[in-house]
Amino acid sequence: MNFNATLIGQSITFLVFVWFCMKYVWPPLMAALEERNARITEGLAAAERGQKDLEEAKSKIGDNLNEAKQQAQEIINQAQKRANEIVDGAKDIAREEADKIKNSATADIDQQVNSAREQLRKEVSVIALAGAEQILKREVNADTHAAVLDELVAQI
Amino acid sequence: MAGSYANSGEYIKHHLTNLVYGQHPDGSWGFAHGADEIKEMGFWSLNVDSMFFSIGLGMLFLWIFRKAAKKASTDAPTGLQNFIEMIIEFIDDSVRGSFSGKNPLIAPLAMTIFIWIFLMNFMDLLAVDHVPGLAALLGIPYLKIVPSTDPNVTFGLALSVFALVLYYSFKMKGPGGFFAELAFHPFPKFMMPINLVLEGVTLIAKPISLALRLFGNMYAGEMIFILIALMYSGGWALGLFGGVLQLGWAIFHILIITLQAFIFMTLTIVYLDMASQADH
């Protein structure tokens, strides 16, 4: 081993290298590493958040679906009820109408019966009159006995 | 491959000699030829090969990392950036694990030490004769391509770290606190001289052990590669055996070079952590 100025030269070189490394090499690389670390951490957190959001959304969708189903059921029930009401109403109206028709028909029939009865009465009075004429064998003045005949007709 | 040398001793010696630039005794400047001339040049000479390769590798390291730093983005990293970030995180983990305080210098320092020493050690895996052989063709007489087998390099690093240890000791503990740490441990105050000797040795041992550990491992590894390379001149059977040995040693050496770089880095962090702790 023999020492010479190389020793000094090496020391200077070494210190210059360390200085350069400290100034221009280490900090940017370290900064990049740390920044990436931060980014990765952030990314992981964001992913987790996203997952949570997704789950929340899923449960919300389930809730909404149930609610919608319930509403639909309600609407169907209401519609059914309304339909029943309408049918019932129609039945009532129909019944009323039928009653009305029946009543008017009954009235008609009554009227017809009355008129027929009137007609019959008139004809019976004529026949009775003719019968009485034959029985009395003499002409009975229709005019003098009109009052009696009318009374007779009214009695039939 | 050792054919051009007089004997294997000379081959080994040649491979362990640095390319030294300095002043000859006659006053002229130039490259030294042989160990004697290197000795004559004294302290004020320069191991040009060590400086060249260490600075070159350091530049390579900083260039690659600077490129990655410029392009650093927070998107998914690809290719080079991925690789660099892997290293950065590894260093950052080591620093966080061993350094309790907060100091923006420590992590870049640790990274520079780790990568730079690793690259310098890595030169050990290149075949011992190729680059020096190529250099010889260009007229360069000596070339040691593994800077960390040069004690100047390892001591240069270790002493710089030691300077930082002293700086932070003074800064964080104050001169009084630093002195107290050296003088009032591990025995009571009245045995101060013994304490000073003990703690002084502990303190001095830090940079020396750092430097010698790295240097010793790399020097020994290089030596084994050179010895294996010698086998190639001993006929095809020995050469084949040498080839197998070299492969095995190189694979094992991959572990050593990484481990040595890691140890140097970790110990640096630990020493600076000890220096930075105000209350001992």
CB contact under 8 A, A21 and B92: no
Q: How many CB atoms lie within 10 A of CB A77?
A: 10
pLDDT, one tens digit per residue, over B100-146 is 888 889 999 999 999 999 999 999 888 888 888 888 888 888 888 89
Q: What is the CA radius of gyration of chain A?
A: 61
pLDDT, one tens digit per residue, over B185-220 is 788 888 888 888 988 899 999 999 999 999 999 999
The reply to whether B8 belongs to the active site is no
Q: What is the CA radius of gyration of chain B?
A: 22
Q: What is the DSSP letter of B76?
A: -
Cβ distance B65 to B84 under 8 Å?
yes
Which strand (E) or helix (H) includes residue B47?
strand B46-47
Q: How far is CA B233 from CA B226, B229, B236, B237, B243, in A?
A: 12, 8, 8, 10, 12
Chain A contacts of B153, Cβ < 8 Å?
Answer: 6, 10
Chain A contacts of B62, Cβ < 8 Å?
Answer: 17, 20-21, 25
CA distance A51 to chain B (A): 23
User: Of A26, A56, A154, which is closest to residue B66 (Cα–Cα)?
Assistant: A26
Chain A contacts of B96, Cβ < 8 Å?
Answer: none
SS (H, E, C) chain A: CCCCCHHHHHHHHHHHHHHHHHHHHHHHHHHHHHHHHHHHHHHHHHHHHHHHHHHHHHHHHHHHHHHHHHHHHHHHHHHHHHHHHHHHHHHHHHHHHHHHHHHHHHHHHHHHHHHHHHHHHHHHHHHHHHHHHHHHCCCCCCCCCHHHHHHHHHHC
ipTM over 0.90: no
Cβ distance B195 to B184 under 8 Å?
yes
Whether the model pTM is above 0.95: no
Q: How confident is the model at residue B277 (pLDDT cuts 50, 70, 90)?
A: confident
pLDDT at B3 over 50: no
Nearest CB to A6: which of B39, B42, B51?
B51
The reply to whether B7 belongs to the active site is no
